[in-house]
Copies of this chain bind each other. A is one copy, B any other.
Amino acid sequence: MKAVILAAGKATRFGGLKPLAPLFGIPIIEHTIRGLHKIDVRDVAIVYNDKRIKEYLEKKYPEIKFIHNPHPERENGYSAYLAKEFANGPFILVMADHYYSSNFFSFFKNFENMECERCVIFVSKEAIGPEEATKVKVKGNKVVKIGKNLENYDYFDTGMFYCTPEIFNYGEKLLSHEIIKLSDIMNSLARDGKLHYQIIEGFWIDIDTKEELKIAEKEIEKSMMKKGDGYISKLINRKISIRITKMLAPYNFATPNFLTLISFLFGLISFLLFFLHHPVLGGIMTQLTSIVDGCDGEMARLKKLQSKFGASLDAISDRYVDILIVLGILANLPINQLTLLSFFFAVTGVILFSYAWHLTQVRIKFGGRDMRLFLIFLFALLSPFAPNALLLSLLIVIGGITHVSVILSLLKLKLRGE
């Protein structure tokens, strides 16, 4: 499947080069390019007017085709028409100044094996700024009419389409008009009963103002949190890690796996500090490790670079850090049966907790890594007052909450009857 992104708009209300405006550290249009890449749509053309768009993107994405629109004043229907040569089969048509959540892109997987090709407009039940949005009136499984000023409508146009080359025939008929809006083309398809629609859940926004850019950034922040985030993660860690992720987002080196490596190094330093009998510094570094640990997943979701390898690397390197920190704590204690058993209790608990979570998918919030590393931070900070007692209790507490969580997750699964 190919894709066409319309980026020749004049952006009168926005000012500046809208498609390149940074949205959470990444140009708006790049979110869409990455979304298309995520579903393996790599044959992409961008219809542009301002050459700075081409100059910026062709360096980063050399495989993208660029189609120049010398008449942006003729509007987005004309821009779409210019993709006629490029789009000789079914294609995705999307606006450069819209932001969409991931499920919009992943939905196209459903079209791949579709027997009958047809034009489909993606519609939503809600819109940010509904008065400015394009409305859609439907009947049965077809669109009757679309337009900004429809009084009687069912859905909102999200600016994303699955098209067949037939739209170019309809575009051609309108070529004598000076202004050709995409909605004009779509309305002529609709009149012939050739425009279908697909209701889609999830966030989307047409970014016309700086305020709408802010709304989109808030939404991206929300999408970066994980459902199972623990209390410390929500209250402290995410607030900081999301800032770091945003700061690093513009840089190419800031891949999720690179951030996993950084977090691993932070963890190693925590271990060494504990191991070399600097428990206070070790504790502080442990909490920093906990914060930085959020960034790899956030960057993966932001840059749409999630992979099984990345997720596994993150999880396994976190477990190595976990057990090393517990070993580092032991290094501050005298070796005897009690400390060894406590160590055994803690070191097995920290791995088994994550093991149980991956198996059962039951999240025990108080037992998570965020809480555990925060406890290490607190106990270590206080450790100068009573090193042995505090660090030994720490091992027992870690062992206690993790093993109890393992049993609880099994019980919860049983109660749910799964």
Contacts and interface: CB of A to CB of B under 8 A. Distances in A.
B348 A312 contact: no
A295 interface: no
A292 to B, nearest CB: 20
Contact of A323 (B316, B320, B348): B348
A312 B351 contact: no
A358 interface: yes
B351 A410 contact: no
A interface: dominant SS:
helix
Contacts of A354: 355
A337 to B, nearest CB: 9
Interface in A362-418: 406, 409-410, 413-414, 417-418
A335 interface: yes
Interface string A61-76: 0000000000000000
Contacts of A413: 308-309, 312
A149 interface: no
Contacts of A355: 315-316, 319, 351, 354-355, 358
Nearest to A409: B312
A360 interface: yes
A308 B418 contact: yes
Nearest to A406: B316
Nearest to A315: B359
A367 to B, nearest CB: 14
A327 interface: yes
Contacts of A359: 311-312, 315-316, 358
A344 interface: yes
A356 interface: yes
A358 B356 contact: no
A383 to B, nearest CB: 22
A312 B360 contact: yes
Contacts of A414: 309
Interface in A158-172: none
A319 B418 contact: no
Q: Which interface residue of A311, A313, A359, A360 has the most chain B CB atoms within 10 A?
A: A359
Contacts of A344: 323, 327, 347
A352 interface: yes
A312 B356 contact: yes
Given A309-B414, A347-B347, 20 more contacts: A307-B418, A308-B413, A308-B418, A309-B410, A309-B417, A312-B410, A312-B413, A316-B355, A316-B356, A316-B410, A319-B352, A327-B344, A335-B335, A335-B340, A340-B340, A344-B347, A348-B351, A351-B355, A355-B355, A355-B358
20 contacts: A307-B418, A309-B418, A311-B359, A312-B356, A315-B359, A316-B359, A316-B406, A319-B352, A319-B355, A320-B352, A323-B348, A327-B344, A335-B340, A340-B340, A344-B347, A347-B347, A351-B351, A351-B352, A351-B355, A355-B358
The 3 closest A-B pairs by CB, nearest first: A308-B418, A351-B351, A312-B359
